[in-house]
Structure 1
């Protein structure tokens, strides 16, 4: 059985929820071309979508491309099929290949782009360089007959509720007595219509993050034996995980800037890096921002980073960072290609868990526009 396009994207948005994208209209995420109302036999994951990637997708029989960089960034006034962009759109449409974009939501996601880059570079216990939001937490309270308390609690906690810091499956439980009077036409789990009932019940309380609130409630309702479930969900002042751009943390072991530049070059699989700063400088704490993040050098410096790894560093920003006392290593924008295999592996695992035959592959096309002479 092959997954529908919407199902594939539901899994993708578990990895990179849309609400993590920058809250302005400058970022282009979501479905940009085609339809998800179809079976997906093959998904291709790419950094960019150009003619070569489209050719690769056609050869692979892909029905859907999931990419990091948008193919439509500015509003279109026309589509001319003899223009470079128009040719790409035309071939995608003719071969019924949909294109879905995950950009800053993938950058900011937990175990998304910047966590993958931080892991590759040996950055320990990473936190965002520029925090953009804190996850909203909710308290879920549900009243369950004592005979089914374990069943409902397990369903809710296994759905992801109850995480506090490094602890999972946290809940609070109070025994009590529930009363109810089933009206005519009801089919109560306990008692009978027209008779006042008292039941030994357990009040189960737990914490639910915003992103999984719906799925947790569905798991609770499915496991609950009552025809009408009594439960409450209310927001908390307590905030959850921090989300934002980039990651920073201490390295596994300190080293010179020159040595760390070699690590960046090797681990991010790039042919060269540009370095700003004294090569003999000792680096203990590093920051990384995928793509073009040099404007955040002050934020990285404020977090205590000795060096910021990011692409597209311009001349004047390099001078300013040098004067501010923070080193820069520029591996180029294309270093984000790390996402291709990571996303493909993650999606394939999710689809496999649910017994779908849909195949997920990583694009092998090198979309680096620069050539190094």
Structure 2
């Protein structure tokens, strides 16, 4: 039995959550019937005519691209419009379209990690880490005999989960005191009389998104008419995902040899790669950003990388970084970072085989089979480079 398009989208969304995409981005399902069956999935960087032809020729039921087809707002997709023509061809060919863009850039096993792996980085971590999950700490005071039941109720609501551990909590005991008012209906004691009770302080951590559910569960299980509790918002720790990657080479090398390695492992393009820096300088600590990443140069400088690998580097950012590196060298510090500028398409292509393999494995885990294919068409828009005659 085949997976439906909705089920395949669920697998893709689990790997590349749509809520992690930038606010300006357009990701997710673009074309397709969620109830349609999917057996063949084609992966490519760009949703261009040649890629659509390739996907249809292979009998793909779904085309997954990194770049969006409809990033800019549109008010129609007539066949006379180039993008509209692709929408019509996909629909007529029975092929859906799904986009994973900035959500795939930052994901575990996403575009940045694939680029880091292919150029040989080890111990890579996000260059600009995304925020980790927003967490609360719930603190509640419970008569000691009832503490276990209240903790169980909060855990059942989702509190106290840390990684692979559940029902995680910290407790201590003390004395609670109160005087019930005339209109109170106390579980313990009587109106107008001071009471002292052996109580347990229960502390658990929970995702902020389920705060209301945890509080409801605690109140429902608590024996008191008016439980005493706190909800404290915790500082957000850096998450395991984020833009770019920074790591080290297993063995130091020179900028010349590392640049050649980058050229050798990425798809060939007409423009090749450009290098800014001393070709004989030592290189070991490296930052990479698939696609346009010069906005993250400052993060690379702060991380003291020897070279920054990215795409679409403009004149002024490259010039300013080079001047700053030479200024540091004049003061006796290492002249870093150098810059390796690759074709945009080339720096993002290494993610495709990773994504194809991952989706096939995820389908297998559901006891289903998906055939996945990777486009080797170069969709880099530059077709030629001319050097001066010598």
Q: Is structure 2 residue 113 aligned with structure 1 residue 102? A: no
CA shift, 1:359, in A, is 2.2
Q: 2:129·2:238 contact (CA, 8 Å) conserved in 1? A: no
Which residue of structure 1 aligns with residue 291 of structure 2? Answer: 291
Which residue of structure 2 aligns with residue 196 of structure 1? Answer: none
**What's the C-alpha RMSD, in Å, of the aligned pairs?**
3.6
Gapped runs of 5+ residues in structure 1?
Answer: 176-203, 218-228
Relative to structure 1, the CA distance from residue 173 to residue 294 in structure 2 (aligned partners, 3 Å threshold; closer, same or farther) is closer
TM-score by length of 1: 0.74
CA shift, 1:365, in A, is 2.4
Deviations 1:176-235 (A, max 9, x none): xxxxxxxxxxxxxxxxxxxxxxxxxxxx99877789x9xxx9xxxxxxxxxxx979xx88
Distance 1:73 1:114 in 2: 21
Distance 1:293 1:265 in 2: 18
Q: 1:170·1:206 contact (CA, 8 Å) conserved in 2? A: no
Which residue of structure 1 aligns with residue 328 of structure 2? Answer: none
Q: Is structure 2 residue 344 aligned with structure 1 residue 333? A: yes
TM-score by length of 2: 0.71
* Structure possessing the higher radius of gyration over alpha carbons: 2
Distance 2:242 2:360 in 1: 26
Which residue of structure 2 aligns with residue 127 of structure 1? Answer: 125
Q: Is structure 2 residue 67 aligned with structure 1 residue 55? A: no
Which residue of structure 1 aligns with residue 76 of structure 2? Answer: 78
Gapped runs of 5+ residues in structure 2?
Answer: 140-145, 172-201, 214-219, 223-230, 326-336, 386-390
CA shift, 1:172, in A, is 4.2
Distance 1:320 1:247 in 2: 22
Q: 1:162·1:206 contact (CA, 8 Å) conserved in 2? A: no
Q: 2:138·2:232 contact (CA, 8 Å) conserved in 1? A: no
Relative to structure 1, the CA distance from residue 131 to residue 324 in structure 2 (aligned partners, 3 Å threshold; closer, same or farther) is farther
What SS class does the counterpart of residue 246 from structure 2 fall into? strand
Q: 1:11·1:350 contact (CA, 8 Å) conserved in 2? A: yes
Q: 2:253·2:282 contact (CA, 8 Å) conserved in 1? A: yes
What SS class does the counterpart of residue 288 from structure 1 fall into? strand
Which residue of structure 1 aligns with residue 234 of structure 2? Answer: 237
Which residue of structure 2 aligns with residue 181 of structure 1? Answer: none
Of residues 79-88 and 261-270 in structure 1, the stretch that sits farther from structure 2 once superposed is 79-88
How many correspondences in the alignment? Answer: 318
Which residue of structure 2 aligns with residue 343 of structure 1? Answer: 355
